Chain A
């Protein structure tokens, strides 16, 4: 587990980091290092330069901004899991972050590094897609934001450009009467999600007015399930099961632990259970 030779640069600011990215072709940004370093140790990644942005305070922290919660890209999973702001405004994101790895991983790993790596078994992406979060990027030419649903493009591929740094994520606060839940079917070896189901249900005046379900782990990117049949329904177990059974994946992921067919099946079961948990939390 000895990486190939590389140069290490520590950025003192986002601007400096952007400059270093321009300067060094094929450089990799490192935040918590929990995805990049294992890849480098296995020599699956051999970047000539690693730019350490892990100490940039400007990219850390959780704050409320209007109707949204802004989460800096260097905020750790542990901070997200324990955040009072998120507990009040978007608890499902904190719930998912609490499922990542173990305490050591959560203390080091960051939300920005996690979603920029875009592992299909990651717990965060389906939640960001579910709540309609936006991902904010900065380059020498300015800033832009992209909807989480468009951010994840393929296996380990995102919309982050070569000259861009992911600065923060903005998650809208859950509306009144909305319950949400994240349920994880954990891989016994890696601890990643074989299937991770994020669901939300809004109930107003005893009637379902909105519902969402996004399932991770089944495909290269989070799979959104059309559960609009629940709107106006009584949210009975049968109605929920019927809605969750709409999960479909053309080319599901399969490995020695769980085949594609099985993942789709578990995605439906966990989707159903996540919806039921969201229903029970709504009101």
Chain B
């Protein structure tokens, strides 16, 4: 039978999705369903003096108007918790509905439930909130200044945490004896995730059973159930079912537990009716957890040969008004630990201050900490190439961790399990035609006019967050394993129940390929079930590029258990010893006796009949596994971007983008390429266009798609992709993550290309996004 692993079979999810038959949360209707509209603060910071709900309540068709008072009266915990703790983390309460103070534009102050969503919106406009506006601070640097308005009384100076990793003294020593040093002050721009499907929830409470079913836009239904019941609604976990139907993208924004979903749950409990809420795009932009928003000073020391001797990083990272679910982990353990990049750096120190601001919370967004780290390292490498005279290619090569040095222990906690960085660089240079581009660049520099630049980004990422004991020691209030229940039916078709809940990645296709390959059956014979806490055993969900590496490995573990059990059943039927049996292409065979074999179907049927069956074996043919990996996986690669800069206007045109990625073994090349395309679009978007801008009063001035530029297809160019393959040594598939690679690598590649184009103008840095005006001003200053 032909191998199905590693082939680009088409996504089984797509026919329904592209013909409009996918059922998303907002498509669902329940008998007696009412609609919620949430009243939100128009101020970034204000005291609530009073709320008059009478005019809203007076509208016919309005069922309820709830405020913080109703949350308190309900006797529920009523808060939105943080799920990752750091030493000395300040954790101010985040009430589901603001009681006396609002802390960002969009903070929920009341909710209206009505018979239809138009009426709910009309009534929401009639809720009169008496605000006393207070001074606000939206900027991460301004929030740290003396006298800045305080976001929380419990957090003096707006500091949420102070965290460091590495050794300051050895870095100081490296700088003291450095032959070359480069340094940079940079901003990593705040981004809004912009999943195409806004967040939505349909909560259906039934007082006759005390049960609640919540359909919602979730990347991790079990985690949402845990947080929802434990911290917000106070319901018993077994009385709540969370279902994630089709989910239209998330990029991290649907990992987090938000106030809104809990508010809608409370509405359903109060009214004993199903209640639906779907965020408008405006609400999405104001309340989805944003990404990035760092201010960083960084410096690198090198010796006379261009070898890095030290790296120093000091970052202020915005947390926003409240600590979102995994927010404290993002600029610390997912950032500081990545600062060694692909390089053998003997001394690294990173200090991070987590900062409260009067803005939407900041949490994991595609890449989560790793794009920020890669940007720091790869911008510095570009400058180091200039400062040493080695250029961007040689300075990187000279510092790559040597292929024989793995496993490689970095100075910032991570131990890279595998890697081979040179070949990816070689291939990228070959694809892009580097020497020809350099001559073209030289002639343009001589002739004036539009300039071209070539930018590199040799990135590393750590994904498939693991193992549980390690992340627990770092503050995670959750495990980082994954579960899989694989059930072989009597007719040998298979259903897989995975804890890894898909929100567009194609798990159903990919996971069916894994099972089909391991069992030697057709992918069509495998059904994949996910995203429902009543159907699926506890699972951790989909984020951090973990589904294939962790979720896929859990499936393999279950399939292995099934094969082992099947061997015992087959051995009994064939009157052989189980040790003598082999499993290949869907058949159990006695080794050395090819005619003594049984198909998977024969064995599966007998497993359920149990008529002629081993005495010491339970009937049935299914297996559940909880797979806790030994380590992260470490994808890497080199990306090269070529741009043309119109120096007269500052406009940037993408000319080429070549990416060589090593994501280990590949299950479905088409899906892997698709993940890279999406990640590249978002990373290039960050570099050139995307920017969440708050004004000084804390208003989000890029709050709509008229001002916030999500990349569109005509803004981009065909990407040139290739791969090297260094399998992950510690998981059974040899796979690594891929979902975030494009977003991690590309911002630095683009910025390095633009800076390279503008080198004749003495420009060494421009902050993202590289809007034409910024580029033009840099050229003319």
Contact A189/B707 with A5-B118, A256-B701 known, Cβ cut-off 8 Å:
yes
- How many interface contacts (CB-CB < 8 Å) are there between A and B? 57
Q: Which of B125, B282, B715, B773 has the most CB of A within 10 A?
A: B773
DSSP class of A's interface residues: helix, strand, loop or mixed? Answer: loop
A-contacting residues, B698-731, CB 8 Å = 701-702, 704-710, 715
Question: Is B225 part of the contact surface with A, judged by Cβ < 8 Å?
Answer: no
Q: Which of A5, A189, A265 has the most CB of B within 10 A?
A: A189
Q: Which residues of B contact A259 (CB under 8 A)?
A: 773
Question: Is A42 part of the contact surface with B, judged by Cβ < 8 Å?
Answer: yes
Contact A258/B773 with A189-B689, A189-B706, A190-B706 known, Cβ cut-off 8 Å:
yes
Q: A95 to B708: give the CA distance in the assembly, Å.
A: 27
The answer, among B121, B651, B688, B709, for a CB contact under 8 Å with A2, is B121
Question: Is B776 part of the contact surface with A, judged by Cβ < 8 Å?
Answer: yes
Q: Which residues of A contact B280 (CB under 8 A)?
A: 1-2
Determine if A262 and B776 form an interchain contact, defined as CB atoms under 8 angstroms apart: yes
Q: Which residues of A contact B715 (CB under 8 A)?
A: 188
Q: A43 to B118: give the CA distance in the assembly, Å.
A: 12
Residue of B nearest to A263 (CB): B773
Question: Is A266 part of the contact surface with B, judged by Cβ < 8 Å?
Answer: yes
Question: Is B117 part of the contact surface with A, judged by Cβ < 8 Å?
Answer: yes
User: Least Cβ distance of B776 to chain A in Å?
Assistant: 7
Question: Is B649 part of the contact surface with A, judged by Cβ < 8 Å?
Answer: yes
Q: Which residues of B contact A187 (CB under 8 A)?
A: 709
Contact A2/B118 with A185-B649, A258-B773, A269-B649 known, Cβ cut-off 8 Å:
yes
Determine if A257 and B281 form an interchain contact, defined as CB atoms under 8 angstroms apart: no
Question: Is B564 part of the contact surface with A, judged by Cβ < 8 Å?
Answer: no
Determine if B122 and A189 form an interchain contact, defined as CB atoms under 8 angstroms apart: no
Q: A3 to B693: give the CA distance in the assembly, Å.
A: 26
Contact A256/B121 with A42-B282, A262-B773 known, Cβ cut-off 8 Å:
no
User: Least Cβ distance of A261 to chain B in Å?
Assistant: 9
Residue of A nearest to B714 (CB): A102
Question: Is A23 part of the contact surface with B, judged by Cβ < 8 Å?
Answer: no
Contact A5/B707 with A258-B773, A259-B773 known, Cβ cut-off 8 Å:
no
Question: Is A238 part of the contact surface with B, judged by Cβ < 8 Å?
Answer: no
Determine if A256 and B282 form an interchain contact, defined as CB atoms under 8 angstroms apart: no
User: Least Cβ distance of B643 to chain A in Å?
Assistant: 15
Contact A257/B773 with A1-B282, A185-B649 known, Cβ cut-off 8 Å:
yes
The answer, among B122, B281, B689, for a CB contact under 8 Å with A188, is B689
Question: Is B675 part of the contact surface with A, judged by Cβ < 8 Å?
Answer: no
Contact A189/B709 with A2-B118, A257-B773, A259-B773 known, Cβ cut-off 8 Å:
yes
Contact A265/B776 with A2-B118, A5-B118, A256-B701 known, Cβ cut-off 8 Å:
yes
Q: A250 to B281: give the CA distance in the assembly, Å.
A: 35
Contact code string B106-130 (vs A, CB < 8 Å = 1, else 0)? 0000000000011001100100000
Residue of A nearest to B689 (CB): A188
A-contacting residues, B638-654, CB 8 Å = 648-649, 651
Q: A53 to B115: give the CA distance in the assembly, Å.
A: 32
Q: Which residues of B contact A185 (CB under 8 A)?
A: 649, 651, 772
Question: Is A255 part of the contact surface with B, judged by Cβ < 8 Å?
Answer: yes
Contact A256/B122 with A1-B280, A1-B282, A262-B773 known, Cβ cut-off 8 Å:
no
Residue of B nearest to A188 (CB): B709
Question: Is B8 part of the contact surface with A, judged by Cβ < 8 Å?
Answer: no
Residue of B nearest to A257 (CB): B771
Query: Which residues does A use to contact B, with CB under 8 Å?
Result: 1-5, 42-43, 185, 187-190, 255-259, 262, 265-266, 269-270
7 A-B residue pairs with CB within 8 Å: A1-B280, A1-B281, A5-B118, A185-B649, A187-B709, A189-B710, A262-B773
Query: Which residues does B use to contact A, with CB under 8 Å?
Result: 117-118, 121-122, 125, 280-282, 648-649, 651, 688-689, 691, 693, 701-702, 704-710, 715, 771-773, 776-777
For the complex with contacts A42-B282, A258-B773, 14 further pairs of A-B residues with Cβ separation under 8 Å are: A1-B282, A4-B122, A187-B709, A188-B689, A188-B709, A188-B715, A189-B689, A189-B705, A189-B708, A256-B702, A262-B773, A262-B776, A265-B649, A266-B649
